[in-house]
Amino acid sequence: MFTIAELLKTKTHIVIAVAMMFLAGCATRPSSSVLSPVHLDKAASDQVTILTATNRNRDATTGGYGSTWAENLTYEQYEFSVPPDRKGTTITYPSARPNPERQFVVTGRKQLPKDAFVQAAARSARFDGSIGIFVHGYNYSYQEALFRTAQIAADANFPGTPILFSWPSAAAVAGYVADRDATLYSRSELADLVKSLAASRSPKRIILFGHSMGGFLVMEAARQLKLQRRDDILQKLVVILAAPDIDVDVFRSQLKDIGKMATPITLLVSKDDRALTASSLIAGERARVGRLDIDDPLIEEVALKEKLRVIDITSVQGSDGLGHDRYASLAKFGAQLATFENSTRSGAGDVGAFVFDTAGAVVTSPFRIAGSVIHSPR
C-alpha cells in the first residue's frame, strides 16, 4: 500500500520523465541574445512581421524578458527572416554567424507605445477584418514563443501581422504549478489587450488561439470579459484551443459563465497527447480537455449541447515526440481551416465532433468532406 507522499512522488517522477523526454528531443534552448537584430547581406526569401504584448519583466541588461510579472504590458514589433528550406516545424535558432538559409533570424526590433501598437495591429488586419493573437503554453520562454509565432505565421502565409501575447511562464520543467498561477494573474492583461484592439473599430473578428495552458488563459480572459458584460467584444471573438490543458469540469464551468458565443469555440484534440497525460497525473488523474476521445459518442453529444467544434488532429505529425505540438503543423492548412470557419456559420454543421484528415489535403481540403462541412466520424 502506497502512502499519499509516495503516490505524489511517483506522479512527480512520471511528469518530470515525460518533460525531460520532451527537452531531450529539442535543440539547446535559446538565450535572449536571439532577440538582437542582425543585419543580413542576403535575406531569406520569406519575411514576416510579428507584434508582441507581454506582461513579463524586462531585463535591461540582456534586452530579453524574464519569468516574473511586470506591472504594465510592454509592446514590441519584430521583423523576421524565415529560412526558405525549413523542414517541418522544427525551429533552428540563429548562431553566432547566422545562416538565413537554415535559421530564423530577427532582422528588426522596436518597442512601441500602446497607441502605436494598436494602430499597427489595426492596419495589419487581414482582408476579412481578422486579427490573430497567439497565446503560448507551459514551459515557454519569451524568445521561444516569439520564434514559434514566426514559424506559424510563415507556414500559414498569414496575410496580416499576428500578435503574440506572452505571459510570464517560468520556462522550466519544474514550473508547472508556477505557470498555472501565472496564467491566472495574466487574464486581466490579456482581456485588456483584446479590449484595446476591439476599441480601434477596425477588426471585425479577433482570433484568440491558445495552446496547452495558454488555452486555459484564453478561456479565463473570455470569462472575464463576460463577467464585465462586454458582450460587444465577445461577439467578435473566435476562440481556438489547441491541446488545451484544462480540467474538463473547470472547462464546463467556464463555458457556463461565458455562455453561447457568436462563433463556436473550436477544440483541437488528440487522445494520445502524452504531455496532457502527465498533466492529468499532476492534477490527480483528472481528465484534460485536450485528450478528449471523439470516438466516444458522449463527446459528440456534449459538443452539440455546448455548441463546440471538437476536431481530432491525431493524424497531424508533431515534432516533440509527445503529440503535444501538432498545432504548429496545422499552420500550412490555414487556408482550409479559414474556409471551414467561414462556411455555414449559423448552420447545424457548425458544431459537433470532426476528424482532420491530412491525406485529403492534396485534393481540396485537409478535412474529410461531407457536404459543405468537415466530416463527422459518425
Average pLDDT, the chain: 82
Q: Is the pLDDT of residue 348 over 90?
A: no
Average pLDDT over residues 278-284: 81
Confidence of residue 59 (pLDDT cuts 50, 70, 90): very high
Residue pLDDT, tens place only, 119-175: 999 888 776 788 999 999 999 999 999 999 999 998 887 777 899 999 999 999 889
Q: HEC profile for 83-129?
A: CCCCCCCCCCCCCCCCCCCCCCEEEEEEEECHHHHHHHHHHCCCCCC
The fraction of the chain above a pLDDT of 70, given in percent, is: 81
Q: Is 306 left (phi over 0), alpha (psi -120 to 50) or beta?
A: alpha
Q: What are phi and psi of 196, to 5 degrees?
A: -65, -40
Q: Rounded distance, CA 119 to CA 126, Å?
A: 14
Contacts of 192 (CB under 8 A, 6+ apart): 73
Cell of 138: 507551459
The β-bridge partners of 267 are 241, 310
Contact status, residue 248 vs residue 303, Cβ threshold 8 Å: no
Determine the Cα–Cα distance for residues 375 and 137; give it in Å rounded to an integer.
Answer: 29
**Is the confidence at residue 65, as pLDDT, over 90?**
yes
Domain residue limits, the chain: 4-374
In the numeric block, which cell numbers belong to residue 73?
504590458
Averaged pLDDT, 32-54: 89
The pLDDT value given to residue 364: 31
**What is the value of pTM for the model shown?**
0.87
pLDDT at 276: 87
Superfamily (CATH H level) for 4-374? Alpha/Beta hydrolase fold, catalytic domain (3.40.50.1820)
Looking at the predicted structure, is the pLDDT value of residue 101 above 50? yes
Asked whether the predicted pLDDT for residue 11 surpasses 90, the reply is no
Q: Are 38 and 106 in contact (CB under 8 A)?
A: yes
For residue 277, the surrounding DSSP H or E stretch is helix 274-282
For residues 356-366, give the mean pLDDT. 46
146 near 52, Cβ under 8 Å? yes
